[in-house]
A and B are shown apart, each in its own frame.
Chain A
Amino acid sequence: MSTTTIYPAKRIITMNPNRPVVEAVAVRDGRILGAGSVKELQTWGDFEVDDRFIDKFILPGFVEGHCHVSAGSLWRFAYVGSHSCTGPNGKIWSPVKCLEDLIVRIREATPDKPTAYVGWGFNPASLTGFSCSRQDLDRVSLEYPVVVLHASLHIASVNTKALEIAGYLRQGIDHEGIPLGPDGLPMGELRGPDAMHRVTEFLGLNGLMLSADEQGIRTFGQLCVRNGVTTAADLANPLDADATNALLRIGNEEDYPVRIVSMLRLLNASPEGVVRRAVELRDLGSDQIRFGFIKLVLDGSLQGFTARLRWPGHYNGAPSGMWYTAPEQITEILSRALEAGVGVHIHTNGDAATELALDCMQVALKKSPCLGHRFTIQHAQLATQAQFARMRELGLCVNLFVNHIYHWGEFHRKETLGPERAERMDACASALAERVPLAIHSDAPVTPLSPLFTAWCAVNRVTDTGRVLGEAQRISVHQALSAITLGAAYTLNLDGECGSIESGKRADLAILSEDPTEVEPMGLKDVGVVGTVQNGRVFLN
């Protein structure tokens, strides 16, 4: 007979309204046998008590509803972000605040005999007066390329050697993404994937931006344990044979600690072909690696000024962004996916893009009526109350990118949106008021993977200068914790399987050193993660 293990804890917050708080959880065959008192759980028959969590707090394992497995690939390089960050192996990376920090960090974090020096997570926007030229980076090395990827992953600062390798150390370059110095040569900043291509190709990074290699997938698993994540949605993977096989091979290993829902982002196929591929993939999935979802991208990003905004457009007068998919194609994919029963997650940032998603969904649903589709609008950063109401009418869920408030809130206030619209960005309270199923996310590696930090953003709405941006849109700690557990699970059709601690569900737990419902709301992001239990297996940091 299978073993039953009872884990008593200091306090277990179940997210199950029938028994919100219990003292112990019993696990059998990778599932939760029961959540209650130790005494009650003992009545199931033979058991052993494992009291390693006796002084810990337990929540359902967190569900990261929008990130990228590629987040695991970047950690082989030096983290140079302006905020402190814990790496997958537990190393705490101090913030990089000035050029000296940057140079020292890249040198120290690079192994002895490098072929290149690489840093990532750089965010000059949050550091006043801090720029980084090729001459600055030449101080790291003249001999080898030095490449500093910015947090957006769309800009790189490079040294002279890297420009030489790219073939850009010449006069007469005329490209918006390559600013020139007074000497007529590039200053060292490469903006946009086309400008960065030769450098990222040289580093072998191009294939890793959307999917990940084996090492990256493993590191991603560690990163999840580190942050209490037991289920993660990998939001845009080309899922060609190599990427699919790598995910299955690593994900199905006995000790892989996270369930991954990997969504298909396929561009060189017809709408019919995309849906057909998603159906094929669905059957290839395993218990840990799930397929059968499509990612659809409607517009660009807010910080890149490529989002589609409705009137009055960008605060600083920049032209509106661009479309990535034509309305006719959106509607056709939605309609075919409704018929085939595969999920679609729709990327929109600007409010015009969200409106288009709603209009297309309305047409698609008329053509292909379907209840319970749970299609989800991802980011929807500028969605208005009226748009949330339409989401509810159309059966859509929303997953808001609340980490933006902290990382780019000040920038959006000053440049992109202006004060009023910046305050209603990522409007969690409006979504809940309109009863739209709500998740919140990090979009790692765009911002660091940490559901507790994401919950902290939704609860406090504080920018990196300490300003509260949109007090009216703050939600309660319980609502935020629900969004990173059951809420995100719902958007992935997994709420029957995980997201709360109750009899019958997967034994997916986040083990914490403090009670997130008892700490000061501003302390939520600092609650320590001890490890996870996933499918009944214990992973400790």
Chain B
Amino acid sequence: MAYLDIKEKIPVTIVGGYLGSGKTTLINFWIKGSEKFKYAVLVNDFGQINIDEVLLSSGDGLVIGLSGGCICCSIGSDLMSALDQLSAYHEAIDGVVLEVSGVGLPKAISAAIELDGRYHSKDIVCVVDSNRVGRQIKDPYIGDTVRAQLDQSSSIFMSKLDLLDAQAREKARALVEQLAPDRRWLSHCDVPGSMETREVNQSSQDFDAAKWFNPVPQDFASESFELARAIDEDSLRDFLKQTGRHLLRIKGVFQLTSGKVVLLQGANDFIDICEWRGTWGGVGRLVYIHHRDWTESLNFKRELSALMEASL
């Protein structure tokens, strides 16, 4: 394995903070706001991943769920496996955002990332629920966890400030300042990519299904279609409404019977169809990912093919 100079390493931004503090919302915001920069997102949370994939669906990011790996470890060999998987994308991504579980502590994760010679732990962001932090740090069960999450961070992002009046905001800020002094305070605009110096690989407007999600992580399977003909939007929407919840992600560029060329993006039962502004070569592509053990995958494929034929 080659050992890279820090400038050649992929920067990793670790996003921690207690369950419900708004980590996913922040990451989603970053991804939406950074057209130029491409992220791989690693999600390490019991409970949130399905929701995350919906929320994160608007970006071009690669989302890999970490399964926890070991019976009694919060990080394990599956983080390392995910980093291995990601190495196939080094040319295509500019950074990795790793979402820590809601009770996870980021320091050990940072050490694990550094151990892999190809990555560099760039920043540890703690997302703080400004409305709840005062109560959280006094909680007999999770108080020390929330304090440790703050203590182990290098940057702070205060979420949900809009729920507080000016006085309460100031109080929350002062509390966090006291628990974690001298940290960098982030705003929404501080997208990690905006601070990157790494050369960016920008072929983003050409949708290439083969590059998108390939190789697919072990537990998932993907299918890809060429769409030589236009599709009826209503039938497609109806079909996906019934069956789309089994898909982890679906994405495609194709022509509708109305003549419009569109970009379809979705995850679970969330589907978004909008006008495609990239290049159009006359042949549509559709790609989707599902859990490998989804028993209905063959039927789905068959019905989707039938739908495309019917749209003639």
Chain A residues close to B by CB (< 8 Å) = 68, 154, 167, 170, 173-178, 192-198, 200-201, 206, 209-210, 235-236, 238, 240-241, 244, 265-271, 273, 297, 299-301, 304, 306, 320, 322-329, 332, 347, 352, 356
Contact partners of B79 in chain A: CB under 8 A = 194
Contact partners of B144 in chain A: CB under 8 A = 320
Give residues 1-24 of B contacting A (CB, 8 Å). 1, 3, 18-20
Most buried by A among B65, B74, B81, B141: B141
**Given A170-B3, A206-B77, A326-B18, A175 and B47 touching (CB < 8 A)?**
no
Chain B residues close to A by CB (< 8 Å) = 1, 3, 18-20, 43, 46-51, 65-77, 79-81, 84, 101-103, 105, 108, 111-112, 114-115, 117, 141-142, 144-145, 219, 292-293
User: How far is it, in angstroms, between the C-alpha of A195 and the C-alpha of B109 when the chains are bound?
Assistant: 11
Structural contact, B72 and A194, CB atoms closer than 8 A: no
Structural contact, B81 and A197, CB atoms closer than 8 A: yes
**Given A240-B219, A269-B50, A326 and B102 touching (CB < 8 A)?**
yes
Q: Which of A170, A193, A269 contacts B49 (CB 8 A)?
A: A269
Structural contact, A194 and B75, CB atoms closer than 8 A: yes
Structural contact, A194 and B77, CB atoms closer than 8 A: yes
Contact partners of B49 in chain A: CB under 8 A = 268-270
User: How far is it, in angstroms, between the C-alpha of A501 and the C-alpha of B196 when the chains are bound?
Assistant: 70
Structural contact, A175 and B114, CB atoms closer than 8 A: yes
Question: Taking CB as reference atom, which chain B residue is nearest A209?
Answer: B70
User: How far is it, in angstroms, between the C-alpha of A198 and the C-alpha of B117 when the chains are bound?
Assistant: 12
Q: Which of A193, A195, A244, A273 contacts B69 (CB 8 A)?
A: A193
Contact partners of A197 in chain B: CB under 8 A = 76-77, 80-81
Contact partners of B111 in chain A: CB under 8 A = 174-177, 194
Contact partners of B74 in chain A: CB under 8 A = 322, 324
User: How far is it, in angstroms, between the C-alpha of A306 and the C-alpha of B71 when the chains are bound?
Assistant: 12
Contact partners of A170 in chain B: CB under 8 A = 3
User: How far is it, in angstroms, between the C-alpha of A297 and the C-alpha of B292 when the chains are bound?
Assistant: 25
Question: Taking CB as reference atom, which chain B residue is nearest A295?
Answer: B71
Most buried by A among B18, B47, B49, B68: B47
**Distance of A264 from chain B, by nearest CB (Å):** 12
Structural contact, A322 and B145, CB atoms closer than 8 A: yes
Structural contact, B71 and A328, CB atoms closer than 8 A: no
**Given A193-B75, A240-B293, A300-B73, A329 and B142 touching (CB < 8 A)?**
no
Structural contact, A240 and B80, CB atoms closer than 8 A: no
For chain A, what secondary structure do more than half of its interface residues adopt (helix, strand, loop), or is it mixed? loop
Structural contact, A267 and B51, CB atoms closer than 8 A: no
The 5 closest A-B pairs by CB, nearest first: A241-B293, A268-B65, A197-B80, A267-B68, A194-B112
**Distance of B49 from chain A, by nearest CB (Å):** 5
User: How far is it, in angstroms, between the C-alpha of A197 and the C-alpha of B51 when the chains are bound?
Assistant: 29
**Given A238-B67, A327-B142, A196 and B18 touching (CB < 8 A)?**
no
Structural contact, B103 and A322, CB atoms closer than 8 A: yes
User: How far is it, in angstroms, between the C-alpha of A196 and the C-alpha of B74 when the chains are bound?
Assistant: 15
Structural contact, A325 and B77, CB atoms closer than 8 A: no
User: How far is it, in angstroms, between the C-alpha of A463 and the C-alpha of B146 when the chains are bound?
Assistant: 38
Question: Taking CB as reference atom, which chain B residue is nearest A168?
Answer: B115
**Distance of B9 from chain A, by nearest CB (Å):** 14
**Given A175-B111, A194-B112, A323-B145, A329 and B80 touching (CB < 8 A)?**
no
Given contacts A322-B74, A329-B47, 5 further A-B contacts (CB under 8 A): A194-B80, A299-B72, A322-B105, A326-B101, A329-B19
Contact partners of A200 in chain B: CB under 8 A = 77
Contact partners of A210 in chain B: CB under 8 A = 70-71
User: How far is it, in angstroms, between the C-alpha of A249 and the C-alpha of B98 when the chains are bound?
Assistant: 37
User: How far is it, in angstroms, between the C-alpha of A303 and the C-alpha of B108 when the chains are bound?
Assistant: 18
Contact partners of A266 in chain B: CB under 8 A = 67
Q: Which of A167, A173, A195, A270 contacts B48 (CB 8 A)?
A: A270
Structural contact, B103 and A326, CB atoms closer than 8 A: yes
Contact partners of A195 in chain B: CB under 8 A = 112, 115
Structural contact, B19 and A193, CB atoms closer than 8 A: no
Structural contact, B72 and A347, CB atoms closer than 8 A: yes
Structural contact, A175 and B72, CB atoms closer than 8 A: no
Q: Which of B77, B102, B145 contacts A201 (CB 8 A)?
A: B77
**Distance of B147 from chain A, by nearest CB (Å):** 12
Contact partners of A347 in chain B: CB under 8 A = 71-72
**Would you list 7 pairs from A and B whose C-beta atoms are within 8 A, ordered by A residue?**
A194-B76, A209-B69, A235-B71, A238-B67, A269-B50, A323-B142, A326-B47
Contact partners of B76 in chain A: CB under 8 A = 193-194, 197
Structural contact, B293 and A328, CB atoms closer than 8 A: no
**Distance of B75 from chain A, by nearest CB (Å):** 6
Contact partners of B72 in chain A: CB under 8 A = 297, 299-301, 304, 306, 324, 347
Q: Which of B1, B46, B115 contacts A194 (CB 8 A)?
A: B115
Structural contact, A173 and B115, CB atoms closer than 8 A: yes
Question: Taking CB as reference atom, which chain B residue is nearest A359?
Answer: B141
Contact partners of B19 in chain A: CB under 8 A = 326, 328-329
Contact partners of B293 in chain A: CB under 8 A = 240-241, 244
Structural contact, A326 and B142, CB atoms closer than 8 A: yes
Question: Taking CB as reference atom, which chain A residue is nearest B292?
Answer: A241
Question: Taking CB as reference atom, which chain A residue is nearest B107?
Answer: A176
**Distance of B54 from chain A, by nearest CB (Å):** 11
User: How far is it, in angstroms, between the C-alpha of A64 and the C-alpha of B282 when the chains are bound?
Assistant: 63
Contact partners of B142 in chain A: CB under 8 A = 323, 326-327
User: How far is it, in angstroms, between the C-alpha of A313 and the C-alpha of B71 when the chains are bound?
Assistant: 22
Contact partners of B105 in chain A: CB under 8 A = 322
Q: Which of A297, A299, A306, A328 contacts B20 (CB 8 A)?
A: A328
**Distance of B272 from chain A, by nearest CB (Å):** 21
Structural contact, B141 and A167, CB atoms closer than 8 A: no
Structural contact, B71 and A297, CB atoms closer than 8 A: yes
Structural contact, A324 and B65, CB atoms closer than 8 A: no
**Distance of B165 from chain A, by nearest CB (Å):** 26
**Distance of B121 from chain A, by nearest CB (Å):** 11
Q: Which of A206, A269, A304 contacts B81 (CB 8 A)?
A: A206
Contact partners of A327 in chain B: CB under 8 A = 141-142
